[in-house]
Every structure is written in C-alpha cells, then in structure tokens.
Amino acid sequence: MADRRNILFIQTDAQHHQWLGFQGAPGLKTPHLDRLARERAVVFDQAYTCSGVCAPSRTSFITGRYPVAHGVVNNQVRRRSPAEPLLGRLLQQAGYATGYFGKTHFAGDDDAMSADGWEQSFTIADYKKYLQQHRIDATYPEKKGIDRLPGRYWNFGASRIPNEHYLENILGDLGVQFIERHADRPFACFVNCVAPHSPFTPPRPYAELYN
C-alpha cells in the first residue's frame, strides 16, 4: 500500500476556470489554491463536463458514466439506480480511507454516505445541524425568498454566518483533520465547496475584498 498515492480532490461550484490567481485572473486573490497548483497538484486545464447541469454532472463523476447511462439527466431526478458503480466503494475496496465533505447533489441519500463507500462524511444536511447546534442565525440573505428576487444571481452582501462557522472553512478543517488522522495509510479526501455558486454572500472580511 505504501506505493499508492494519496488523493485530495478539491471541487468548487459554478466557478469559471479562469477565476483563479494562478490562471492569470487580474485582481483575484486565491493564494492557497495558487500554492497547490504550483507545488504538487494536478490541474485539469483541458477538462470538460459531460453536462452543464449540477446533478447529472456530479453523478457522472462518482459513477464514471454518462447521464444517458446512469439516468440522472436533470436536477429533478432524486434517486439514481442502486446498481450504479460508485467511486467511494471502489476506493474503499482498493484499501483507501475515504472521506467526503461538502456538497453531494448526485441523486443519492445523504444519510447513506457510508453505504456509498465514504467512511467519514459531512454533507449540507450535517452543516444545517451544525448551525442549529451552535445557535447560529442561518437566515443569511440567500435564504430569504431568494427565488422571488429578480437579482438572485448577484451580490446580496456579507453572510450573517461568522467566518469561522462558514461552510467552506468547516469543510477545509474537516479535510485537514481527515488527512492527519489517516497519515499512515492511503487516503482519498474529497472537499466539495458550494462557493462561489450564486448568490454571492461571502463572510467578512472577504465580503469587503471586492466591489
């Protein structure tokens, strides 16, 4: 097992491939991703999605099959076939410690992540419970009738959620903890951010970085 490479997969949502400092985007500050890209990361600069819609694309990623094959052809399909091959199970069978943190949206059951091959997971449903447990006001702007607002894809200001409790920070911390805990064996750690998907409500101080 010592010759197997560890896998850290970082995925953002609805982010243009040029919206990164190391891709030459003027004015954008992404120092940590820039460092990963410079040092040991694999940058997929010739990658193409098999679907421009979220659930079909994400389901293809974890099954290795086109939407026409796995049947999740739009965001309204809530359940994929239980017979589909799943990346988490395959990695687990290959001897990897598996962790999945963040957005799923691949037509599965977030309560059945372990059955899908993920030894440790933290989904959006878990994050909602986290906010409730910490008594954090989760009614940040994008949760206030956003579907009825004509400018829903634009900036609604800073999130009401403090930076240390913001989803992407929680996911990063969980990913680091998972890697440190499994340093003695091959691991596959998937960190799936929701940001920068609209609506744009970053926490302070990041909300003030751009106008």
Q: Alpha carbon 98 to chain centroid distance? A: 15
Active site includes 193? Answer: no
The two tokens of residue 90 are: 């395959």
The residue annotated as part of the active site, out of 16, 50, 54, 197, is 54
Reply yes or no on whether 105 is catalytic. Answer: yes
The token duo for 173 is: 């911390």
Cα distances from 108 to residues 21, 80, 118, 125, 182, in angstroms, run 34, 6, 13, 13, 26
Cα dihedral: 52, 55, 60, 66 (round 10): -60
First to last CA, the chain: 49
Task: List the catalytic residue out of 70, 105, 182, 189.
Answer: 105
Which residues are tagged catalytic? 54, 105
